[in-house]
């Protein structure tokens, strides 16, 4: 039990949990608790229960046998994984697109949120927000179709570049490996930047108006208020989301790459998740695919821990 000091130097009585207050709190917040319980159940079922399947990474798994009756092979699957050239190619593509996405996809939603927050006309502000959110709700299948049409040799991008005299002949952007990473990154940025700005807009709403009023009295303009008041006010949110983004560097999914790739860009399009799909599940090597998935999880957890430690040492903010 803990003891709390008081102003006159004496001590309070040992703090004993008050069951009556606890029951009142539960009764008062029962709906919030029910909402949390639903989420906790979802996390347990879909995030923790499947960890039982990690045993497959150390077995020669056969679908017609129980997981407890499989042949144990130790680290054989991991050794084969680290000997595969295609694995390193997939890792290169994953890290390249992840770092590009972090470099461009992380700061731009913050900038967008800052600009939207400075709009004073309510109707215009809601219109801008709605337009920026809309791409998030569009399927990647539709987005990929739009990108192929816009960047085709007969698309609007080539037409504009030719009319401006920047190029003489149309470029097949979707067939050039050198452009693929950039196309994926900026397509994802266009699709998600409005949606990602919501968190920052919510954090900006919590910044005290008195700080802005004091800055105005001191003669600070809009950009100085954004730099010296708004950004420091949302810095904890920025740091937490940055740490989580670093932890997810290797988890970029595969939908974008799968839908936007062509035969000529396959070597730069394959990422870890596509590698697991093609060389694990696609070929019936379930243990091999599970080993690759375990590797992803371990790397993600390591990156998250390192980023969280660095954040705590440098900024004082941490996730856990």
pLDDT tens-digit series, residues 127-186: 999 999 999 999 999 999 999 999 999 999 999 999 999 988 999 999 999 999 999 999
Look at 2-16, 42-56, 227-241 and tell me which has the smallest mean pLDDT. Answer: 2-16
Q: Residue 33: pLDDT band by 50, 70, 90 thresholds? A: confident
So where are the chain's domains?
75-314
* β-strand partners of 60: 71
pTM here? 0.81
Look at 20-29, 31-40, 100-109, 164-173 and tell me which has the smallest mean pLDDT. Answer: 20-29
DSSP H/E element including 158: helix 156-163
Percent of the chain with pLDDT over 90: 56
Q: Report the CATH number of the 75-314 domain.
A: 1.10.3720.10
Contact 67, 55 (CB under 8 A): yes
Return d(Cα 253, Cα 245) in angstroms, integer: 13
**Which whole number is the average pLDDT over 98-122?**
92
Residues near 204 by beta carbon (within 8 Å), at least 6 away in sequence: 113, 114, 117, 230, 233, 234
Q: Is 11 a residue whose pLDDT tops 60? A: no
Name the residue among 100, 268, 116 with its Cα closest to residue 188. Answer: 100
Contact 183, 174 (CB under 8 A): yes
DSSP H/E element including 60: strand 59-60
**Which whole number is the average pLDDT over 242-246?**
90
């Amino acid at each position: 039990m803990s003891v709390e000091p008081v102003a006159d130097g004496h001590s309070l009585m040992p703090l004993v949990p008050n069951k009556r207050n606890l029951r009142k709190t539960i009764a008062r917040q029962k709906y919030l608790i029910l909402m949390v319980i639903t989420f906790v159940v979802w996390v347990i079922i879909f995030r923790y229960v499947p960890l039982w399947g990690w045993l497959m990474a150390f077995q020669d798994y056969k679908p017609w046998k129980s997981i407890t009756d499989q042949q144990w092979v130790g680290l054989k699957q991991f050794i084969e994984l680290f000997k595969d050239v295609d694995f390193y190619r997939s890792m290169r593509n994953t890290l390249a697109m992840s770092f590009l996405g972090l470099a461009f996809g992380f700061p731009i939603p913050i900038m967008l949120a800052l600009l939207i927050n400075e709009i004073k006309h309510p109707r215009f502000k809601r219109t801008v927000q709605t337009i920026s959110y809309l791409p998030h709700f569009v399927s990647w299948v539709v987005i990929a179709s739009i990108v192929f049409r816009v960047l085709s040799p007969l698309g609007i991008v080539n037409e504009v570049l030719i009319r401006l005299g920047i190029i003489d002949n149309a470029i097949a952007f979707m067939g050039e490996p050198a452009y693929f990473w950039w196309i994926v990154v900026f397509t994802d940025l266009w699709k998600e930047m409005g949606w990602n700005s919501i968190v920052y807009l919510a954090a900006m709403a919590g910044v005290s108006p008195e700080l802005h009023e004091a800055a105005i009295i001191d003669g600070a303009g809009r950009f100085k208020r954004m730099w010296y008041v708004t950004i420091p006010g949302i810095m904890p949110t920025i740091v937490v989301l940055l740490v989580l983004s670093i932890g997810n560097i290797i988890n970029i999914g595969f939908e974008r790459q799968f839908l936007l790739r062509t035969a000529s860009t396959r070597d730069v399009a394959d990422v870890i998740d596509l590698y697991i799909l093609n060389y694990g599940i696609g070929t019936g090597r379930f243990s091999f695919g599970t080993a690759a998935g375990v590797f992803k999880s371990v790397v993600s957890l390591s990156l998250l821990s390192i980023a969280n430690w660095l954040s705590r040492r440098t900024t004082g903010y941490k996730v856990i």
